[in-house]
Structure 1
């Protein structure tokens, strides 16, 4: 695969990963994969930093800027570093009418391509199961002391003997 085709395929993969990261319940790996791929593409000359944009929905209502990165017909944003503020022009607000082309690569293939490219691998530990709430010390014993007409939290049940 020659360089333009490879960079286009990488850009499509980053686009797919970024699109899925926006709605994924645990998106840390996807965003890390996007960042690693874009940074490597920049160092290899397959993508370039164009300037800074104001972030659309900044955290804590404080103005923030992001680096605009172009790779072929695709545009991406990454958080800006101090060096980016010194070396890149500020382009102002984002033009919300500009859209990336539709990608034709699935998430699984995109993750595989970017993982092979960056060397970043997803841990297979999976999500941790929810933990059961722990009783406070002495909570269960107090309920026993108060009698059967109360729940473990110490409250009377809704339906039970009237006494």
Structure 2
């Protein structure tokens, strides 16, 4: 069983029960954790079980409301930030499970990662069409594959509120926008946010379904 001494060491796919609950999930087998963290906090040593989020199940009758969340640019930007980091967490988790030989989970993770990036792409396209997002330029990303090949990606850098995002650039984009330099693989580490993952997804889906004209913010 995987064991950790600091939260910074815990991979994104392992969560305690409180973290899972915020995602509307619970361990399928609570007495069979996938990891343990022993850490020191507030003058005490603490021990918590950790569970692989991909092996967890939905909480029955779990409901979430976003009626109190305004559909303004800042909230949409934060929601995009959350699902973007969650997709990158799927990317990293996929690699870990591949190395462990969990190929069925790898396929599931790949599908979920794709769904989140599709949602991100659709929201960015709509925000750009409404003038609520701005294209800043082009980044080049060089990835060395396990086959020792170089894969070169050209990415549009798009600003929404206080956050920036990337999406694949087309040939015409590369000619049109300024080159901003090279970047490495973007980390899946996430800063603290006011929205949960489920709230973020629901807000973005509501935004895509809405045909309201944006006025101001």
- Identify whether the pair has TM-score above 0.5, normalized to the shorter chain: yes
Structure 1 residues 60-69 or 30-39, which shifts more?
60-69
Match 1:64 to one of 131, 142, 153: 153
Task: Compare CA radii of gyration and give the structure with the larger one.
Answer: 1
Aligned to 2:72: 6
Q: How far does residue 56 in structure 1 lie from its aligned partner after superposition?
A: 4.8
In 1, are the aligned partners of 2:140 and 2:154 still within 8 Å (CA)? yes
In 2, are the aligned partners of 1:74 and 1:100 still within 8 Å (CA)? no
In 2, are the aligned partners of 1:49 and 1:67 still within 8 Å (CA)? yes
4+ long deviations beyond 6 Å: none
Larger strand proportion of the pair: 2
RMSD over aligned Cα atoms: 2.7
Structure 2 portions without partners, runs of 5+ = 1-70, 91-108, 211-217
Change (3 A) 1:101 1:51: farther
Aligned to 1:155: none
Q: How far does residue 104 in structure 1 lie from its aligned partner after superposition?
A: 1.7
Q: How far does residue 86 in structure 1 lie from its aligned partner after superposition?
A: 2.1
Structure 1 portions without partners, runs of 5+ = 121-163
Q: How far does residue 73 in structure 1 lie from its aligned partner after superposition?
A: 1.3
TM-score (norm 2): 0.47
Tell me, in whole angstroms, the C-alpha distance in 1 between the residues paired with 2:80 and 2:165. 9
Count of residues paired in the alignment: 115
